[in-house]
Amino acid sequence: MLKLLNLLKDGRFHSGEALGATLGVSRSAVWKQLQHLESELNLTIHKVRGRGYQLAVPLNLLDAEAIAGFELGVQWPTFIQQSLDSTNAEGLRLAAAGQAAPFVVLAERQTAGRGRRGRQWVSPFAENLYYSLVLRVEGGMRQLEGLSLIVGLAVMRTLQAFGLSGVGLKWPNDVLVNGKKITGILLELVGDPADVCHVVLGIGINVNMQVNDDIDQLWASMRSETGQPIDRNHLVAVLNQQLQHELARHARYGFAAFQEEWEQAHLWQGRPVSLVAGSTRIDGVARGVDGQGALRLEVDGVEKSYSGGELSLRLRDDS
């Protein structure tokens, strides 16, 4: 099926006879594969008598050689799958099987993509970026402090490099553009965080998606903001470069070196917010983050720090 996709990805018409000859199968077998592509991957394929078959929208498929071809200096091993439950889950499986970190896992789609607090991450085929970077972390908790915030900064700079404006951060790990969510970040850890562990940096970026009724919040994509389709292989290469640079700084200096620049990028800095954990809600004013990446919240005139993977920050109605 992947071979057929590669033949059709240019968005031009291809006859069933030519496709069958290239694949070494009958025209009937080509037809069955085309039906499978439509039903399994939700792709639209035009069928015109006398002309053949054409993808309604050309595809920019992920390719490790194309990523390396941008020569941005990052040589992480890259594993690309057509379909995965989630790139984070695959990263953990590869690490458990002995794959040396760092390495990157990419997928054209996810069947069980996850966001924070157990939410689904909508993952249509070959439109967005589903990316996980697996790291081996030694030296204790200091190497983990503020890590999701560092990833957010790297993603923000990547988007800006592609011409997006109005990009900023929302604690703890969302990237917004003009008030709409464009990126989610999910970090997962296995091992002993006080000694040696593996951390998976999961990043989902809306890239070329233009329509999706399954998302229950305001969202944007790189294409909707720039008006141009984005080469996802180029995007991976730039994201790799930004992550490598910021992670090296973090390993050397810790999160405290990033505190001021992260606060400058925080879209809700100084605004009335609600911090929600389950049924508990704390109202206050966002004052920034501390040296470990915890949220600094002014509550009734007193500043307090909050951290935890189950916390959600929202703008208050009176803001």
Sign of torsion over alpha carbons 7, 162, 74, 255: negative
314 a catalytic residue: yes
Say which amino acid occupies 27: R
Is 181 labelled as part of a ligand binding site? yes
| Active-site annotation holder among 47, 51, 271, 314 | 314
181 given a catalytic annotation: yes
Question: Does 109 count as an annotated binding residue?
Answer: no
CB 43, CB 37: distance < 8 Å: yes
Residues near 212 by Cβ (< 8 Å), separated by ≥ 6?
A: 122, 124, 219
Phi/psi for 182 (5° steps) reads -120, -20
Ligand-binding annotation for 9, yes or no, is no
Give the Cα separation of 263 and 243 in Å (integer).
19
Q: Which helix (H) or strand (E) holds 299?
A: strand 295-299
Distance CA 192, CA 178 (A): 39
Residue 110 counted as an annotated binding residue: yes
Tell whether residue 88 is among the known ligand binding residues: yes
Under a CB-based contact definition with an 8 Å cutoff, are residues 78 and 111 in contact?
Answer: no
Measured from the Cβ of residue 293, the count of other Cβ atoms closer than 10 Å reads 23
Helices 147-161 and 232-253 sit at what angle, rounded to 10 degrees?
140
6 annotated ligand-binding residue: no
Rounded (5°) CA angle 243-290-314 = 85
Q: Is 287 a catalytic residue?
A: no
Catalytic residue, candidates 116, 170, 232, 296:
116
Instruction: Give 17's Cβ-side CA count (13 Å radius).
Output: 3
- Alpha-carbon gap, residue 77 to 278, rounded angstroms: 39
User: Of 109, 157, 170, 181, which residue is the catalytic one?
Assistant: 181
Q: Cα(83)–Cα(90) distance, rounded to whole angstroms? A: 11
Pair of tokens at residue 251: 């390993």
Is 87 labelled as part of a ligand binding site? yes
CA torsion sign for 299, 304, 310, 315 is: positive
**Binding positions for biotin:** 86-88, 110, 114-116, 181
**Binding positions:** 86-88, 110, 114-116, 181
Residues belonging to the active site = 116, 181, 314
